[in-house]
Structure 1
Amino acid sequence: MFPKDYNFTNSIQSTATVTNAQHKVGRSFAFDYKTHRFVFKDGRNIEDTQIEAIKQWIELFIRTEMKKYMIYTDSFGLDLRKLLGYRLPRSYKVAEIKRRITEGIMNKVPCVVIVKDWQFNAGIFYFTVVTNTGEEVKIDYELEL
């Protein structure tokens, strides 16, 4: 069925190495999620540092509902519709949300190497993200279960 003279192992690549192979975040402008506006100073956009840009990427990833906006790929964002609002055990919901956020960050957010130190308290998820430069970024995100 398959040709014997073709090496298939060279043509298959891991999606994690392809999608998260970037070593730079690139230019990112500061965005205030509370006011839903870009941040300006003296009439110009403020450019984020690499750490602030990573925080912004993570915030965008968590806030974006998967497959809702055509500008993003079908795999960008979280799909929590079947978790929230249903009568599932709270521990299952927390574990599944942790898993989905961790997998998404590792595959979609540039420069992230590790997601660790998860905590959940009163509807707020706390976790730490380690960048490829070794810097640790503390993230907290409120989510109603």
Structure 2
Amino acid sequence: MFPKLDLDNIVEELQFEEKKNEGKTFLFDFEKGDFVIKDGRLVEVEGKEAIKIWIEKILRTEKFKFEVYKADENINEYGTTIKKLIQGKKVPQFFLQSELKREIEEVLKRHSEIDRIKDFRTEQEVATLRICFTIILKNGETFNQEVNF
């Protein structure tokens, strides 16, 4: 009388579709500001390395600045407002720390493989702000990430 559903297959199809929508990721040298090329081709990365590149790109991209990333009604807009938070404003360090953590956690949880972040900290060195944290993936793997502004 009731239809039979194979929920395991449905979940697998949805997870595959999520990964497919994330697209390919190519190795990027953030210090040089260019893609890494080997034998005349872009170097494709997968797994944790692809997630690391994605994290660095989304954190370095200014939200609302580029039309290509514009989303309907600014919902799930690509990027962050980190640069606006740290440039030209004198705000209490505890406020800056908590706001950076909130925004970074919010944007990183959009990735289908990221479960959460922990051990969040910032280090100010003259004109450079270093943001460090540990990423915990849904499969239980972890890695440390550092982004400099």
TM-score by length of 1: 0.74
Which structure carries more helix by proportion?
A: 2
Are the structure 2 counterparts of residues 114 and 23 from structure 1 closer, same or farther at C-alpha, using a change threshold of 3 Å? farther
Shift of 1:141: 1.5
Equivalent residue, structure 1, for 2:144 = 138
Deviates more, 1:66-75 or 1:92-101: 66-75
Shift of 1:86: 1.6
Once the two structures are superposed, what CA deviation does each residue of 1:67-101 show, in whole Å capped at 9, x if it has no partner?
11111134211113553322211111111011101
What secondary structure, in the 3-state scheme, does the structure 2 residue paired with 1:101 have? helix
Equivalent-residue separation in structure 1 for 2:134 and 2:83 (angstroms): 25
Q: Does 1:22 align with 2:18?
A: yes
Which structure carries more strand by proportion?
A: 2
Match of 2:113 among 111, 114, 132: 111
Higher RCO by CA contacts (8 Å cutoff, separation 6 or greater) = 1
What secondary structure, in the 3-state scheme, does the structure 2 residue paired with 1:87 have? coil
Question: 1:54 touches 1:110 (CA, 8 Å); kept in 2?
Answer: no
Shift of 1:120: 2.2
- 1:81-120 alignment to 2 at 5 Å? 82-84=84-86, 85-107=88-110, 109-120=111-122
Equivalent residue, structure 2, for 1:35 = 32
Shift of 1:114: 1.1
Once the two structures are superposed, what CA deviation does each residue of 1:5-64 show, in whole Å capped at 9, x if it has no partner?
xxxxxxxxxxxxx9xx93565421111111121111111221112111100111011100
C-alpha RMSD over aligned residues: 2.2
Question: 1:29 touches 1:48 (CA, 8 Å); kept in 2?
Answer: yes
Equivalent-residue separation in structure 1 for 2:137 and 2:64 (angstroms): 27
- Structure 2, unaligned stretches of length 5 or more? 1-13
- Structure 1, unaligned stretches of length 5 or more? 1-17
Are the structure 2 counterparts of residues 76 and 121 from structure 1 closer, same or farther at C-alpha, using a change threshold of 3 Å? same
Match of 2:54 among 45, 48, 57: 57
What secondary structure, in the 3-state scheme, does the structure 2 residue paired with 1:140 have? strand
